[in-house]
Amino acid sequence: MPNQNTYTLPFVVLALLLIFCFLGNISLGSVSIPLSSVFKSLFTSIENESWQYIILNYRLPKAFTAILVGSGLGISGLLMQTLFRNPLAGPFVLGISSGASLGVAIAILGAGIFGGSLATLLLSKWSVVLAASLGSFLVLLSVLAVSLKVRDTMAILIIGLMFGSITAAVVSVLAYFSSAEQLQQYIFWGFGSLGNLSWNELLIFFCIYLLGLVMSIVSIKALNTLLLGENYAKSLGLNINRSRFIIIIATSLLAGTITAFAGPIAFIGLAIPHIVRQVFTTSNHKVLLPAVFLLGAIVMLICDSIAQLPTSDYTLPINAITSLIGAPVVIWLLVRKRKMMF
């Protein structure tokens, strides 16, 4: 009972902050649109057709995408850090994003190698999505299979990095034999992007995301128990293998789908769980998971607003902003507080 009272206020603050950042995000962009017009266009139509379209079809889907990406990557990172009992675990570190990148590389760069008729099929947008999801799932499955044999968590981390190196090498070979146009498409995919999803695509994204989110919520009890150690968890009646499998599926769905639709976005998955642990000073996933959801969404909305360089005609890659903000924050937090809430 006292705990619940302690956490109510921070969650209220985070929820309000999320709403504020969401409204801020849809109000900011290259084109200066007055605040009154922004809100008016949400409930009725405004005279300027371009503004109406920009807000309803560009900024609004982009803001929702930012929420899904930020919260999803944060939750994915949280699950992996707990599952592998490793504070450095994250979609990038354990090779999920590398696997997705390999999948996309095969889809985009491999199109020319595999021939014309297959190329047309492979280059459709949905193939890229499927390829990224499949790639991330296979790599994570491989990491898990290895982790069954290797108990040392640091060794598993290094093995994850090695999987990343393997996929990078394969991508390099594919890149070498690709045309300039294919390379360009692949490199731009790698910059990350929140602004290219239509409402239809966003809906599909949301459905897959929701599945991953539900599986994460179902896993909360298992995650808490896993922190006690596998042997102790078994004695409490937890089915280790089944729980581990569900957590991996959830992580793959979240990180893989996000990478598929928005490209590899760095540092959110690693940084957000640590920030939340420092702020909430708890290991209970009933608190951590919703907090990571909220803070991940907030940070991604802020990063996207910055990347848009409001009132400038130019934009920055979202990946650059998340890394520039995420890395110093984690360093500062860890140096300042030293102890790991883990």
Other Cβ atoms closer than 10 A to 249: 18
Tokens of 245: 């499998």
Among 7, 11, 39, 191, binds another protein (CB under 8 A): 191
Q: Is 119 in the site for another protein (CB under 8 A)?
A: no
The answer to whether 20 touches 305, Cβ cutoff 8 Å, is: no
C-beta of residue 60 within 8 angstroms of C-beta of residue 66: no
Helix axes 285-307, 60-83, angle to 10 degrees: 140
**Does 101 sit near another protein (CB under 8 A)?**
no
Closest approach of another protein to the CB of residue 317, in Å: 8
Stretch that binds another protein, among 26-34, 93-101, 160-168, 272-280 (CB under 8 A): 26-34
The tokens describing 275, both together, are 């920030």
- Note whether 47 binds another protein by CB under 8 A: no
Per CB under 8 A, 45 contacts another protein: no
3-state SS class at 115: coil
24 binds another protein per the rule CB under 8 A: no
Q: Which positions from 121 to 160 touch another protein by CB under 8 A, shown as an x/- string?
A: ---xx-----------------------------------
Question: Least distance in Å: CB of 115 to another protein?
Answer: 13
Decide if residue 58 touches another protein (CB under 8 A): yes
Burial of residue 222 (CB within 10 Å: 0-12, 13-18, 19+) is buried
Output the six-digit token pair for 251: 């992580």
Nearest C-alpha neighbor of 298 from the set 108, 81, 63? 63
Q: Which of 5, 35, 47, 49 binds another protein (CB under 8 A)?
A: 49
* Contact residues: another protein, CB under 8 A: 29-31, 49-51, 53-54, 57-58, 124-125, 181, 184, 188-189, 191-196, 198, 263, 307-309, 312-315, 317-318
